[in-house]
Amino acid sequence: MLKVSVGLIVSLILVSCGVQEDSYITSDSYETEYYINGERVDEETYENHTLDNNYDSSYAPTTEDNTLDNNNSSDTAIKGDEDMCNKLFTYTTTSPEVDLSDSKTKAIHDILLATDPNNGYQLFMRHHKDFMDWINHDTSLSTAIHETNHGIDSILDMCNPSMKSKYFSLGDIYITDLNGDTANYSIVEETIPYELKSASRYDTYIEDSKNYNGNRFNILLDEINAYTGDAWFKVRFRESGMKENTQYYSIYGYFQIDGVIDFILYLEYYLKSARLYYPETYNSIKQQPETLAYIQYILQKAEEVIEVSFPYIIENIDGGSESIFFGSYYGEGTSGKDRLKQAYSSDALMELDNLGISHVDYSHWQSTYFSYEYNEASYTKPTFVKPRRDRVYIKPMKIRNK
């Protein structure tokens, strides 16, 4: 796994590929939106822009390497992409494009700098305009971090080395061997235990992903990365002791890390489904050392944040808050605790073992999560609202490899 350390970078394009769990919408209708350099465009313009950019050799593309045979490329678009890639892979300490004269922007800037300088703050500096767009639409800081992380990962895929999935994770860039040529991650449904399908996150990410051909294994890893970074922000913020809500921002609805656990499960059962029914995908993953190294890394960070989150979850319960981790989340059939047990069952862990991925075992959680008895009846459940997907983005499919 190639790791590239980066510092604070100036503004980049946001192309998000999902919406985190604590954002809501009342409508079930979904619409695909297309963005270039942060500006919404029609589908034809977006597709032409995508076709016109096939990057080669260095991290930043060159004009001649991005021109198709029909000479339909846009020099302006290419130059913009070149600048973004250069900025992303080049260390800098300031972003003059961030206008801190706006009180809300400065409040978000200051809280991220003070609490999460190595992840949330860097995401903010990379694309503060879209970060603030999430905040201004009444999402939490947690959601804005999650969604902006998707955007950074998406633009990284358009930088060189081309055709390789890359992830911004906790302050560093990781380059894998994945090129998108894997089975859709909805194959999770073919082996995951039936009782784990009765969940809104399963519906949003696994059931709904059948409709999007671009949602392959690299996007599943993108989700576990975003949930893990988001969870670390919650921990870092809680460690700081700052107020959770002000007139300018809300931190999160609940301190919870069940999204991380869900995607550990989806990772495991994707691997199981691939091993049993999609040998081409499975054999490809097995032969990708950089991808396996990234899986090892992100799983370790996921396990670490689950562990350090426990006292804060209990602290919330002791303070009188209803727990969506130990309780049955919005009336669903399983709790986060149930899903953690399944993620560390022998059936699930076998898939990690088969690929040589190290992990903690079931007994590791026995003295914390598994031994805690939660009295769900003493708390009032919130009204269920379906997680929204009001900005659905599909990662650009690369047309050819130079």
The 3 state secondary structure assigned to the chain is: CEEEECCCCCCCCCCCCCCCCCCECCCCCCCECEEECCEEECHHHHHHHHHCCCCCCCCCCCCHHHCCCCCCCCHHHHHHHHHHHHHHHCCCCCCCCCCCCCHHHHHHHHHHHHHCCCCHHHHHHHCHHHHHHHHHCCCCHHHHHHHHHHHHHHHHHCCCCCCCCEEEECCEEEECCCCCCCCCHHHHHHCCCHHHHCCHHHHHHHHHHHHCCCCCHHHHHHHHHHHHHHHHHHHHHHHHCCCCECCCCECCCCCCCHHHHHHHHHHHHHHHHHHHHCHHHHHHHHCCHHHHHHHHHHHHHHHHHHHHHHHHHHHHHHCCCCCCCCCEHHHCCCEHHHHHHHHCCHHHHHHHHHCCCCCCCHHHHCCCCCCCCCCHHHCCCCCCCCECCCCECCCCCCCCCC
Q: Report the predicted TM-score, pTM, of the whole model to 2 decimal places.
A: 0.77
Question: For the chain, what are the domain ranges?
Answer: 2-378
pLDDT per residue, tens digit, the chain (402 aa), is 777 655 333 222 223 334 443 332 222 333 444 444 444 455 555 455 444 433 333 343 322 233 223 333 344 444 556 777 776 676 554 566 788 899 999 999 999 999 999 999 989 988 788 899 999 988 889 999 999 999 888 888 888 777 789 999 998 889 999 987 899 999 999 999 998 887 778 888 888 777 776 789 999 999 999 999 999 999 999 899 888 888 777 776 667 788 999 999 999 999 999 999 999 999 999 999 999 999 999 999 999 999 999 998 888 777 766 666 776 655 567 888 899 999 999 999 999 999 999 999 999 999 999 998 877 655 544 433 333 333 333 333 322 232
